[in-house]
C-alpha cells in the first residue's frame, strides 16, 4: 500500500480501501477533472429499495462509509458514491477548490452517468461537506430526488479557528489562495470508536489540508444555502450528532425546519461528527432504514 500523496499533490489512484467489490466508472467533471465513481449492488435476496447516492465529507473518500454501506446493501438499497475532486482516487489537489459550483456540478455529472443507474425515487445522502454540497444541489434543482438525508451538514462551523489562521487568511486569499494548511481534525473529533479511529489514521487516502480559497468558497456556499430553501414537500432526514465538535448541527437543524421540505430529525445524543462510524451506530442505521422505508410506503 502506498503512502500519502505529497501535501497539495494529487489524490492517490486506486481503491483498495473500498469495502466490497463495487462496479467502478469514471466521468469527467468540470475543467476536465477525472472523477472516480462506484456502484454497489444490494445483497442477494434483499427486497429492492431505492438507490442511495452518497456524497462524502472533506478530507475523506467513499471508502470511509463501510458500516453504512453494509447496512444499506443488506436492506436492499443499491449505493452509488464517488470520490469528490481532490479526494480519494479522483483527480485534483488536496484541500484546494477553485469554485464550490464545481462540487455541485460533479454531483449531477456522476449521478447522471448511465453507469449510475439511478431510477426515480433515488435518495441523495450527504455528510458534512457532502451535506452542504447536497443542499446546494437540491436548491439548484437540476435533478429530481425522492428524498434526501443530511448528516451533520456543514452549514456552520463549531470548531474554533485559531486566531493566527484568521489573521493570515486575508493575505493568503490575495497571494496564495491554493496554499494549504492543516485543518486540525483528529480521529477523536469524528468518532469514539477506537477501531474506526485507527482505520482512519492508517488510511493513505485521508488528508487534513485546507486552503484559504477552499475555506472562502465553503463560507460563500454556506451563506447561499442558509438563504435558500429546499424543494417543497421533499422528504428530508437530518442526522444530528449531539457531540459534534466540528459542525454546528443546531444551526443546520433550525434552518432545515424552517424550509418547506418535510423535515424529520434523528438525534444521536452522544455521537461525534461521524455518527455512521461511531459507537452505537446500529441504532442510527435502524432509524435511517425505517425512515427510508416509510418514504417508500408514502
pLDDT classification of 10: cutoffs 50, 70, 90: very low
Domain locations in the chain as residue ranges: 23-297
Does 3 score more than 50 pLDDT?
Answer: no
Q: What percent of the chain has pLDDT over 90?
A: 82
Burial of 166 (0-12, 13-18, 19+ CB in 10 A): exposed
β 79-82/123-127 pair status: unpaired
For residue 99, is it left (φ>0), alpha (ψ between -120 and 50) or beta?
beta
β 123-127/147-151 pair status: parallel
Alpha-helical regions (H) of 22-91: 66-74
| Contact present, 246 and 185 (Cβ < 8 Å) | yes
Does 1 score more than 60 pLDDT?
Answer: no
Does 168 score more than 90 pLDDT?
Answer: no
pLDDT classification of 207: cutoffs 50, 70, 90: very high
**162 compared with 54, residue with greater pLDDT:** 54
pTM of structure: 0.93
pLDDT score at 267: 97
Taking each helix axis from N to C end, the angle separating 212-226 and 100-112, rounded to the nearest 10 degrees, works out to 70
- Element at 190 (helix H, strand E): helix 187-190
pLDDT score at 46: 83
CATH topology of domain 23-297: Rossmann fold (3.40.50)
Helix %, strand %, coil % of the chain (to 5): 40, 20, 45
Amino acid at each position: 500500500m502506498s503512502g500519502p500523496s505529497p501535501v497539495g499533490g494529487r489524490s492517490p489512484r486506486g481503491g483498495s480501501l473500498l469495502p466490497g467489490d463495487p462496479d467502478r466508472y469514471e466521468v469527467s467533471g468540470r475543467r476536465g477533472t477525472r472523477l472516480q465513481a462506484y456502484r454497489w449492488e444490494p445483497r442477494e435476496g434483499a427486497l429492492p429499495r431505492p438507490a442511495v447516492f452518497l456524497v462524502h465529507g472533506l478530507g475523506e473518500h467513499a471508502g470511509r462509509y463501510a458500516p453504512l454501506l453494509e447496512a444499506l446493501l443488506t436492506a436492499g438499497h443499491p449505493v452509488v458514491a464517488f470520490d469528490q475532486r481532490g479526494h480519494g482516487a479522483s483527480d485534483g489537489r488536496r484541500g484546494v477548490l477553485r469554485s464550490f459550483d464545481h462540487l455541485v456540478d460533479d454531483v449531477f455529472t456522476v449521478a447522471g452517468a448511465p453507469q449510475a443507474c439511478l431510477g426515480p425515487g433515488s435518495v441523495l445522502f450527504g455528510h458534512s461537506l457532502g451535506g452542504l454540497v447536497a443542499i446546494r444541489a437540491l436548491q439548484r434543482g437540476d435533478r429530481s430526488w425522492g428524498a434526501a438525508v443530511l448528516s451533520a451538514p456543514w452549514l456552520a462551523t463549531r470548531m474554533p479557528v485559531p486566531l493566527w489562521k484568521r489573521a493570515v487568511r486575508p493575505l493568503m486569499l490575495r497571494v496564495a489562495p491554493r496554499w494549504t494548511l492543516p485543518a486540525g481534525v483528529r480521529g477523536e473529533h469524528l468518532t469514539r470508536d477506537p477501531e474506526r479511529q485507527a482505520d482512519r489514521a492508517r488510511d493513505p487516502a485521508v488528508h487534513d489540508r485546507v486552503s484559504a480559497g477552499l475555506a472562502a468558497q465553503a463560507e460563500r456556499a454556506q451563506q447561499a444555502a442558509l438563504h435558500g430553501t429546499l424543494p417543497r414537500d421533499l422528504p428530508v432526514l437530518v442526522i444530528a450528532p449531539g457531540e459534534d465538535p466540528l459542525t454546528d448541527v443546531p444551526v443546520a437543524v433550525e434552518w432545515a425546519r424552517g424550509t418547506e421540505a418535510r423535515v424529520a430529525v434523528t438525534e444521536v445524543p452522544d455521537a461525534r461528527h461521524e455518527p455512521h462510524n461511531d459507537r452505537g451506530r446500529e441504532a442510527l442505521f435502524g432509524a435511517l432504514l425505517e425512515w427510508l422505508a416509510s418514504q417508500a410506503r408514502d
